[in-house]
Chains A and B, each alone.
Chain A
Amino acid sequence: MSSTVISHGAAHHDADNHHHETFLTKYIFSQDHKMIAKQFLITGIVMAVFAMVLSILFRIQLAWPDKDFPILEVFLGKWAEGGRMKPEFFLSLVTIHGTMMVFFVLTAGLSGTFSNLLIPYQLGARDMASPLMNMISYWLFFTACVLMVSSFFVESGPASAGWTIYPPLSAVPTAIAGSGLGMTLWLISMTLFIASQVVGGVNYISTVLNLRTKGMDLWKMPLTIWAFFLTAIVGLLSFPVLVSAVVLLFFDRSVGTSFYLSDLVVQGQILPNEGGSPILFQHLFWFLGHPEVYIVVMPALGLTSEVISTNSRKPIFGYHAMVYSLVGISVLSFIVWGHHMFVTGMNPFLGGVFMITTLIIAVPSAVKAFNYIATLWRGNIRFTPAMMFAIGMVSFFVSGGLTGLYLGNAALDINLHDTYFVVAHFHLVMGSASIFGMLCGVYHWYPKMFGRMMDTKLGYLHFWLTFLGAYLVFFPMHFMGIDGVPRRYYSFTAFPFMEKWVSVNLLITWAAIIAGLAQVAFLWNFFSSIWKGKKAPQNPWGSNTLEWTTPVEHIHGNWPGEIPTVYRWPYDYSKPGHDTDFIPQNVPHSETMSSNLAHDFEGNEEAVRIQNEWNKANNREIIEE
């Protein structure tokens, strides 16, 4: 059997025959998946810092609602005249914070980075199915980011209808300040973003199905790839729905149609729109919006699966169950959107249906959580910073997931809807969990991306401050929500029943500021290590997947000559009988005779016969066919 398979464009991509690249084609308009991954990551990090600063700003308002901060006026100008933030700007901050975090950081920054980096690497491909589409995907995303940030520089300010942009605030340009040009920019930015995701997603799916190396059947794929693959499918099926919603919104805003608008009086003027239904928008939005939650969290689940198994030095517990859980989550994600709309006057029977489908998602989610814990159980755990973030991810996934059981229940959701309980829930289960999954990926694959190691001590500092900070920020919000405190309110002192929570807001804001400062440790570590980090060995974590068989220095086409053939699954860690505690996927069974098991041969009788001959000659137990 040939030990080599060359996929897409291999002959044009070997090390000695690489393209003559200019600065522009190598660093800017690169079509190399590794460079595009870095572009997605660094853009995602910049967006994350931007979105985090926005959150600190609105946290300052919430902690000190009656205090002036003259310095705010220096930076924010008319939006903080006299040192006090304006209510409309507060709404813009929460809107753009949510939009950037959900879409730019946790969708493009996470999925874009690691799908690009790992799909060709871990599958044994020279590059993506269409490198050009890959490049287009990044630049559409970049343009979307620039447009979204530019909305801070228009006179009427950025969009402020919430990240869910419900009409009428989003559909009537004169409704509030943020409904004007800022909203238009939001819509254009998001359209470009969706195009970016669809183009990228198509490429991911196609690469997974068409460009796997020899021996890499679907059941030998690492869980990372399964997660990216299913995420891309979910994205492909759900993002176009948001396009349709946005098209109708555009016509309502700009042409005067009435898809979403009806019976409105804005600033004393009766609007001509009649017969529209704002609920229609919610249906279309959440048909994307809920799968989006899984688009955000599934890549994080994939990355942590890999990191937890590698650093526990144990096979992932329940590999097949993990895959089926991802498939289950992907399918169910399309039939639960109504749980965001329990209070829209939905027929209680329909609400019941959505409640059941929602609660069923707890099953695959719990399977994953238990499998992580079972993988850790009695493992030879290495607490690398990546592993700490991976365990932190599981912690947030569990503690945030548990409150999903409350919110998925229609009877309870009617009370908790639009309160801080919801804010706490999704910031833990999808926000913090996904951010931790992403950071776990950054720490783990940094040597592969930049050829250098990150500083471990700064990594631990970053982890503990962020982990504790995130819990201190979001955990108290559950109690505020149970007390009925609504989200997105500008000033807690304006409502007597909310006043008692200002002291809690103070705690939350300080925790947010400290966790925010902790990111400086990360940023310093990340950027300084690119040049000053310790040089990385080829396989620093003793990992089994194919990316660690590539040279540390990046080359076009990934492998200098032949692409390795895959012989085994990626989780042969601490296999009894083998002399090292890991066996990479490209090591044939003929080189691991002392550790081979019956199921390694997948029913190949000849291989079993050879193994048994060897076992007999070496006084080992004969394996059953």
Chain B
Amino acid sequence: MENTGYSIEEELIQSRKAKKFNLWLGMIGMFMMFAALSSGFIVYTASGVDKGIKTILPSIFIWSTIVIVVSSITLHFAFQAAKAEKLARQKLLLIITIALGVTFFVLQNDAWGVLISREIYFINSNASQSFIYIFTGLHLAHIIAGLIVLVRCFIGAAKPLPFQDNQFRMNLAVIFWHFLDLLWIYIYVFLLLNQ
């Protein structure tokens, strides 16, 4: 049979392009969830003077922000290492990124602890304060997904996968993790502006 169109390699490139595009679309969907929560927060908070965050956000959030930004940078370098076929360096940087991701998770939990120590609970007649838990909690749910993606990258590098596959997997992971990073910064800035 004659297939005079694209070669298998070109088809693979096209298929990967489509998969990457799917990820972008998925991220748009995820962002819409947080956009909805933001507008919900605004509508709710505007409904009465007794509503609103009415506290200073825990300073731990500053540390968690630094941690997730650094994790994005280490992942970027891991991707560079993957492109340069330096597998050992890629694996090391991936482990550092995963560790930073876990640290972020722990820090967010600590921030919840600070809120609880100030008697700002999730179950609250001022739901603006409950929204802090919702925003951070849903973001953490995405972080769990991100960590799974990173572990998968590590397994890919440890096997190791063929160069192109390893690079493609890393590429998707980098996009997703950067998105989670930016999403947190959006959430943090949004909450800061409303505190």
A residues in contact (CB < 8 Å) with B: 2, 4-11, 14-17, 129-130, 133, 198, 201-203, 205-207, 209-211, 214, 236-241, 243-245, 247-248, 251, 255-259, 273-277, 279-280, 283-284, 287, 560-563
Q: State how many angstroms separate the Cβ of B50 from the closest Cβ of chain A.
A: 7
Identify the closest chain A residue to B47 (Cβ): A277
Contacts of B44 in A (CB 8 A): 259, 277, 280
Which of B31-39, B74-82, B174-182 lies at the interface with chain A?
A: B31-39
The answer to whether B127 touches A275 (Cβ under 8 A) is: yes
Contacts of A206 in B (CB 8 A): 18, 21-22, 25
Q: Which of chain B's residues 127-152 have a Cβ closer than 8 Å to chain A?
A: 127, 130, 134, 138
The answer to whether B130 touches A259 (Cβ under 8 A) is: yes
Contacts of B130 in A (CB 8 A): 251, 257-259
Besides A129-B22, A210-B21, A257-B124, 18 new A-B residue pairs in contact (Cβ under 8 A), listed by A number = A8-B18, A10-B5, A10-B6, A206-B25, A214-B5, A236-B32, A238-B32, A240-B33, A241-B36, A256-B123, A257-B127, A273-B125, A275-B48, A277-B47, A280-B43, A283-B39, A284-B39, A562-B5
The complex places the Cα of A240 from the Cα of B17 at a distance, in Å, of 24
A205: which of B6, B25, B35, B124 is its contact (CB, 8 Å)? B25
Report which residue of A203, A248, A276 has the largest number of chain B beta carbons within 10 angstroms of its beta carbon: A248
The answer to whether B19 touches A248 (Cβ under 8 A) is: no
Q: Which of chain B's residues 166-184 have a Cβ closer than 8 Å to chain A?
A: none
The answer to whether A202 touches B26 (Cβ under 8 A) is: yes
Answer whether residue B15 sits at the interface, using C-beta atoms and an 8 A cutoff: yes
The answer to whether B11 touches A8 (Cβ under 8 A) is: yes
The complex places the Cα of A284 from the Cα of B44 at a distance, in Å, of 11
B15: which of A8, A258, A561, A562 is its contact (CB, 8 Å)? A8
Q: State how many angstroms separate the Cβ of A555 from the closest Cβ of chain B.
A: 12
Contacts of A279 in B (CB 8 A): 43, 47
Identify the closest chain B residue to A133 (Cβ): B22
Contacts of A239 in B (CB 8 A): 29
The answer to whether A283 touches B6 (Cβ under 8 A) is: no
The complex places the Cα of A4 from the Cα of B34 at a distance, in Å, of 44
The answer to whether A211 touches B36 (Cβ under 8 A) is: no
Contacts of A561 in B (CB 8 A): 1-3
Answer whether residue B83 sits at the interface, using C-beta atoms and an 8 A cutoff: no
B22: which of A202, A275, A276 is its contact (CB, 8 Å)? A202
Contacts of A9 in B (CB 8 A): 11, 15
Contacts of B47 in A (CB 8 A): 277, 279-280
Q: State how many angstroms separate the Cβ of A535 from the closest Cβ of chain B.
A: 26
The answer to whether B11 touches A7 (Cβ under 8 A) is: yes
Q: State how many angstroms separate the Cβ of B152 from the closest Cβ of chain A.
A: 16
Given contacts A244-B33, A244-B37, A275-B126, contact A14 B1 (CB under 8 A): yes
The answer to whether B40 touches A284 (Cβ under 8 A) is: yes
Q: State how many angstroms separate the Cβ of A354 from the closest Cβ of chain B.
A: 14
Contacts of B29 in A (CB 8 A): 198, 202, 236-237, 239-240
Given contacts A129-B22, A237-B28, A259-B44, contact A243 B127 (CB under 8 A): no
The complex places the Cα of A284 from the Cα of B25 at a distance, in Å, of 21
The answer to whether B3 touches A6 (Cβ under 8 A) is: yes
Report which residue of B11, B15, B29, B34 has the largest number of chain A beta carbons within 10 angstroms of its beta carbon: B29
Answer whether residue B122 sits at the interface, using C-beta atoms and an 8 A cutoff: yes
Given contacts A4-B4, A240-B36, A562-B5, contact A10 B11 (CB under 8 A): yes
The answer to whether B124 touches A4 (Cβ under 8 A) is: no
The answer to whether B5 touches A6 (Cβ under 8 A) is: yes
For the complex of A and B, the 10 pairs showing the least CB-CB separation, nearest first, are: A6-B5, A129-B18, A274-B125, A241-B36, A244-B36, A240-B32, A275-B125, A240-B33, A210-B18, A202-B25
The complex places the Cα of A256 from the Cα of B125 at a distance, in Å, of 10
Contacts of A14 in B (CB 8 A): 1, 3
Q: State how many angstroms separate the Cβ of B127 from the closest Cβ of chain A.
A: 5
Identify the closest chain A residue to B33 (Cβ): A240
Answer whether residue B195 sits at the interface, using C-beta atoms and an 8 A cutoff: no
The answer to whether A283 touches B43 (Cβ under 8 A) is: yes
B14: which of A7, A241, A275 is its contact (CB, 8 Å)? A7
B122: which of A17, A244, A257, A273 is its contact (CB, 8 Å)? A257
Contacts of B6 in A (CB 8 A): 5-7, 10
Answer whether residue B30 sits at the interface, using C-beta atoms and an 8 A cutoff: yes
Contacts of B22 in A (CB 8 A): 129-130, 133, 202-203, 206
The answer to whether A16 touches B1 (Cβ under 8 A) is: yes
Identify the closest chain A residue to B31 (Cβ): A240
The complex places the Cα of A245 from the Cα of B124 at a distance, in Å, of 18
The complex places the Cα of A99 from the Cα of B28 at a distance, in Å, of 26
Q: State how many angstroms separate the Cβ of B70 from the closest Cβ of chain A.
A: 29
The answer to whether B33 touches A563 (Cβ under 8 A) is: no
Given contacts A8-B14, A129-B22, A275-B50, contact A237 B32 (CB under 8 A): yes
The answer to whether B18 touches A130 (Cβ under 8 A) is: yes
The complex places the Cα of A17 from the Cα of B37 at a distance, in Å, of 49
Given contacts A256-B123, A274-B125, contact A17 B1 (CB under 8 A): yes
Contacts of B37 in A (CB 8 A): 244
Given contacts A247-B134, A277-B47, A283-B39, contact A210 B14 (CB under 8 A): yes
Q: State how many angstroms separate the Cβ of A513 from the closest Cβ of chain B.
A: 42
Given contacts A206-B21, A258-B127, A259-B127, contact A11 B8 (CB under 8 A): yes
Q: State how many angstroms separate the Cβ of A99 from the closest Cβ of chain B.
A: 20
The complex places the Cα of A435 from the Cα of B100 at a distance, in Å, of 52
The complex places the Cα of A321 from the Cα of B110 at a distance, in Å, of 56
A2: which of B4, B50, B124 is its contact (CB, 8 Å)? B4
Given contacts A210-B18, A280-B40, contact A241 B126 (CB under 8 A): no
Q: State how many angstroms separate the Cβ of A94 from the closest Cβ of chain B.
A: 27
The answer to whether A5 touches B40 (Cβ under 8 A) is: no
Contacts of B2 in A (CB 8 A): 561-562
Q: State how many angstroms separate the Cβ of B191 from the closest Cβ of chain A.
A: 16
The complex places the Cα of A198 from the Cα of B22 at a distance, in Å, of 11
The answer to whether A241 touches B33 (Cβ under 8 A) is: yes
The answer to whether A6 touches B11 (Cβ under 8 A) is: yes
Contacts of A275 in B (CB 8 A): 48, 50-51, 124-127
Identify the closest chain B residue to A211 (Cβ): B18
A236: which of B28, B123, B125 is its contact (CB, 8 Å)? B28
Contacts of B18 in A (CB 8 A): 8, 129-130, 206-207, 210-211
- A-B CB contact pairs (8 Å), 19 listed: A2-B5, A6-B4, A17-B1, A201-B25, A202-B22, A206-B21, A207-B18, A210-B14, A211-B18, A241-B32, A243-B36, A244-B34, A245-B36, A245-B40, A247-B138, A257-B124, A275-B124, A275-B126, A279-B47
Contacts of A245 in B (CB 8 A): 36, 40
Q: State how many angstroms separate the Cβ of A126 from the closest Cβ of chain B.
A: 9
Q: State how many angstroms separate the Cβ of B51 from the closest Cβ of chain A.
A: 7
The complex places the Cα of A381 from the Cα of B51 at a distance, in Å, of 63
The complex places the Cα of A11 from the Cα of B44 at a distance, in Å, of 55
The complex places the Cα of A275 from the Cα of B17 at a distance, in Å, of 48
Q: State how many angstroms separate the Cβ of B112 from the closest Cβ of chain A.
A: 14
The complex places the Cα of A5 from the Cα of B105 at a distance, in Å, of 48
Contacts of B51 in A (CB 8 A): 275
B11: which of A11, A15, A273, A287 is its contact (CB, 8 Å)? A11
The answer to whether A236 touches B5 (Cβ under 8 A) is: no
Contacts of B126 in A (CB 8 A): 275
Q: State how many angstroms separate the Cβ of A334 from the closest Cβ of chain B.
A: 11
The answer to whether A236 touches B134 (Cβ under 8 A) is: no
The complex places the Cα of A203 from the Cα of B21 at a distance, in Å, of 9
Q: State how many angstroms separate the Cβ of B121 from the closest Cβ of chain A.
A: 9
